[in-house]
Structure 1
Amino acid sequence: MNITNAVSCSSIHRPWFDRLPILVLEAGLVLAWSSGFIGARFSIDYSPPLLVVFWRCALICLVLLPFVAKALRNASAKALLQNAGIGFLAMTGYLWGVVQGIALGVPAGLAALLADMLPIGMALLTTVMPGHRLSWRVWLGLGTGLVGVILVGRDALTLSDAPLWTYSLPLLGMGSLALATLWRKQLSPRTMMALLPNLWLQCAVSAIAFGVHQSWQGSLVPQLTAGLAISVLWTAAVSTVGGYGLYWLCLRRSSATRVASVLYLSPAVTLVWAWVAFGEPLSWLMAVGTAISVLGVWIVVRAERESDKQLNRNSQ
């Protein structure tokens, strides 16, 4: 009876978003994550991209502080430091690599394509970790998904006049997020933080980093325009709270490889965003690439389910 009551109380006190099916969370993740590239493109016309990133992180810190202050005070120094380090890699490292690459002349579509190689980067890092091994079915799914991503973004596979080294920045950003993701999966329950305090801490670290960077470049005070306000609000609410929030929620409910593979679908959704927002054309090749990416994600999900079933049989 006590066990039943404990389980019932546990389910009652779980946040509503923790009770959503994983597929719903993953669909929301793809939508929110892809919105970031549209927000970055839109903001370039109104302010330096990294200045917009600074203000979106600062805004989130101000809004969330009253709701997370108690949890932050009660957290241990070890938990704060570890989650701040994860946030620095996941948010500061990833956004700096992608946005700075675009600012230095890397075509936005190609930067997004390089950043969307996260599943492959994650898989390669996983292979060097002790006790971790991906099955050939997972590799097949990752490879299939990558082919789909390349087909979707084929028109973006053109080089600009930017120096060659700048093309490494989106890849470095992708690698930074991959490291943060694997670090997060290795955290002990004692050092894990709830979603909103964790998100606040990551935004605070990023706001400091981008604030220092922009102070060297010029003023932190932008020219106030309606376009800038829309950019900051859009990227703060949808891309950061929605995108990163759902990323960490999905990671808590699933494997790092599955979560990363789902992001193979973000290039196609980004193109739909661009069609709605900027009237950019769509093509049948994009549709074919999207279908191949969906097939790749399905292969990964199915392979991990079979792997989990095999582990359960072996443990019995």
Structure 2
Amino acid sequence: MSMFFQVVAPMVFVLLWSSAFIAAKFGVAHVEPFTFLGARFALVTAIFTIIALAVKAPWPRSIRSWHNIAVVGLFLHAFYLSSVFVAIHGGMPSGLVALVSGLQPVLTAIAAGLFLGEPPSARQWAGCVTGFAGMVLVLSDQMSIEGVTFIGIGLSVLALLSISFGTLYQKRNAAEMNLLTGNAIMAGTGSLVTLAAAALFESMEIVWAPAFVGAFLWLSIAVSLGAYSLLMLLIKHGQATKVASLFYLVPPTAAVMAYIAFGEEISLLAGLGILVTAGGVALVVLPQRKPA
């Protein structure tokens, strides 16, 4: 089981999470962001609920437990993804959004030491800094000041704070939740918030083009069911700093996927950044040899 959480689960999580950016590029051309997310979370809620009822998975027994899981869903589903989608939909360069939200491992490392009693080691700090430097190199070709606004920057910072807080809150207050019922509650929370926002600010029209349907199903099933479930497991069984550092690998992996899917070139600098990022993450996540 330890090999699964150390190697297999992180690799699958990074691949699934990175694929979301590729799928989103296909989908957002046919629907507004809150409508997209609201419909996606509604489908995910239905799937998790049906599976949970079929296998008779336990639901939380206290209002406090329901509240804690809903808070995680509010930050990891509603606030984080809404901030990213709305910022990019409003013209904010995706590379800059990724760069700001990519500070999450550093922020998580600081907060984990303060609030969870998990102070990062010197090697993990070095890995955080190295991983961020590598991510900057990977995203350097996508950096542009065109389209940058105070609102876009604010949404990017909100995404950073939301995913950092949601990760820490889940580790501290909802680590023992059932995977099926917990994800149903989290997705339901995200759906209620994003559908309310869509009703207030958007037309809620969807163009059911093949590209949208494919992206919608992939994001709902593979990413929301697969990636988020793996994230919950990794948070439960791992140190918060180690789990957060995996997000450094998302931009490099997404860059490789974009090269395969869209023919987007990877510069020599970005290629170097991929190697540097991988080295930084390795410093954080690989087991340290304990002194005799």
TM-score of the superposition, structure 1-length normalised?
Answer: 0.85
Pair 1:269-2:278 in alignment: no
Q: Secondary structure at the match of 2:30?
A: coil
For residues 62 and 131 of structure 1, what CA distance do their matches in structure 2 show? 37
Amino acid at match of 2:90: L
Q: Does 1:51 align with 2:40?
A: no
Q: Distance in 2 between matches of 1:254 and 1:36?
A: 23
Q: Which residue of 2 aligns with 1:75?
A: 61
Correspondence for 1:154: 140
Shift of 1:96: 1.3
Distance 2:177 2:42 in 1: 20
SS in 1 for 2:120: coil
CA distance in 2, matches of 1:225, 1:280: 23
Distance 2:217 2:174 in 1: 34
Question: 1:226 deviation in Å?
Answer: 1.8
What is aligned with 1:24? 8
SS at structure 1 position matched to 2:147: coil
Q: Which residue of 2 aligns with 1:113?
A: 99
Letter in 2 for 1:232: F
Report the secondary structure of 1:293's partner residue. helix
The CA RMSD over aligned residues, in Å, is 2.2
> How far does residue 86 in structure 1 lie from its aligned partner after superposition?
1.1
Change (3 A) 1:91 1:111: same
Q: Pick closer, same or farther for the CA change 1:46–1:297 going to 2, 3 Å.
A: same
In structure 2, the CA distance between the partners of 1:284 and 1:218, relative to structure 1 (3 Å rule), is closer
Question: Are 1:237 and 2:209 matched, yes or no?
Answer: no
Contact 1:147–1:292 (CA under 8 A) maintained in structure 2: yes
Question: Partners of 2:42 and 2:221 in 1: how far apart?
Answer: 12
Structure 1 position 281 matched with structure 2 position 265: yes
User: With structure 2 as the length reference, what TM-score do the two structures score?
Assistant: 0.91
Give the Cα–Cα distance (whole angstroms) in 2 for the partners of residues 271 and 131 of structure 1: 35
> Number of aligned pairs?
290
| Residues 61, 204 of structure 1: 8 Å contact kept | yes
Q: Which residue of 1 aligns with 2:23?
A: 39
Letter in 1 for 2:146: S
Structure 2 residue 182 is the aligned partner of structure 1 residue 198: yes
The question of whether the paired residues in 2 share the 8 Å contact of 1:52 and 1:231 is answered with no
Q: Give the number of the structure whose alpha-carbon radius of gyration is greater.
A: 1
Question: Does residue 94 in structure 1 map to residue 80 in structure 2?
Answer: yes
> Do residues 177 (structure 1) and 163 (structure 2) align?
yes
Identity %: 28
Q: SS at 2:128's partner residue?
A: helix
Q: Shift in Å at residue 22 of structure 1?
A: 2.5
Contact 1:94 1:174 in 2 (8 A): yes
Corresponding position of 2:283: 299
Cα 1:285–1:186 shift into 2, 3 Å: same
Confirm or deny: 8 A CA contact 1:56 1:235 kept in the other structure: yes
Letter of the aligned partner of 2:280 in structure 1? G
Query: Which residue identity is paired with 2:10?
Result: E
Offset from partner CA, 1:32-86 (integer Å, 9 cap, x none): 1111111222212111122111111111112222222444656322211111111
Shift of 1:171: 2.1
**1:40/1:49 contact within 8 Å kept:** no
